[in-house]
Amino acid sequence: MTGAAAMHPELGPLKPGDRVGLVSPSGPAPADRLDRAVSLLTGWGLEPVLADHVRDVHPSAPYLAGEDRHRAEDLQTMWCDDGITAVFCIRGGYGAVRILDLLDAAKLRAAGPKPLIGSSDATALHQYWSENLGLATWFTPMVATDALLDDPAAQANLREALFTPYRGRSFTSGAAEPLVHGEATGSLTGGNLSLLAMTLGAQPIPDNTGRIALLEDITEDIYRLDALLHILLRAGWFDGLTGIALGSWLKCGELHDVKALVTELLVPLGIPLVWELGFGHGPGAHSIPLGVQATLTSDRNPQLVLH
């Protein structure tokens, strides 16, 4: 998907009074976290609407927020409801890949575009929306998790993302570091590394020619990160990329080991590569749109600028 000259209508911005859908396509959110998420969004002037099964827990697989068909129905219903202005995936975990084959792409395409918001396990949905609907989406901390609810900086970043135009916004962090110098321009793609590998069998490998990849992960041992990167490399997922921005690697072992791994495997690609640009699961995480044009600058002051 390439960037357009006009603002992507599916990215908002939102305004006070908008009705927003809350769905749980992956793992279940604790009741208190969901209640706090509703309070947060209400405090921003939005009207949260809970999907029918958003509080469900699967009867035999408690790591899932209810049955696959119900999670798929909730997502599709909220997306196709003209009275809903945006759809929030409230929690990650695991499960989004299980509902991909239950979605009706034709019906989703026929519905009016709107922001799809979330990260982590929702990376599977970002990929589906990009490749099957051709729409931009928001890669943000999940609203019913401590990572957002207990982090005022992440909340401020999300609120800015949702309520103000994205064009011209820039992203960096105090830990940002160039691993391969240069400048890259392209449409943003990617997200959670393990989910990108997991979705390879769920749909055709995307053509990432002319795109900039965002990559991050959480609670993956270093050998797992090694394997996941090799899966994507051998599948050709990195082919044609113009640049790569890396985010946080929370609870993935020693950061110097992760940096050594990406240096070994990704530096040889010879495209601009930035370490720790401030998105993902880390504190104060940025909210960044996928599917829009951006420029990645990898020099003494690495940054990503949206067009």
Active site amino acids:
120, 216, 281
Burial class (CB in 10 A: 0-12, 13-18, 19+), 177: middle
Task: Map tokens 């035999």 to a residue.
Answer: 60
Closest CA to 76 of 102, 96, 97: 102
Name the nearest CA neighbour of 139 among 181, 196, 83: 196
Contact 138/290 with Cβ under 8 angstroms? Answer: yes
Q: Return all residues near 212 (Cβ < 8 A) that are at least 6 apart.
A: 184, 185, 186, 187, 188, 189, 241, 242, 243, 244, 245, 294, 296, 304
Integer CA distances (angstroms), 263 to 65, 213, 295, in order: 37, 16, 21
Residue 138 φ/ψ, nearest 5 degrees: -110, 125
CA-based torsion, 52, 103, 218, 297: positive or negative: negative
Are the C-beta atoms of 29 and 144 separated by less than 8 Å? Answer: yes
Q: In whole angstroms, what separates CA 83 from the centre of its chain? A: 24
Rounded CA-CA distance 284/216 in Å is 14
The sheet with strand 47-50 has its strands ordered as 47-50, 19-23, 86-89, 116-118, 137-139, 288-290
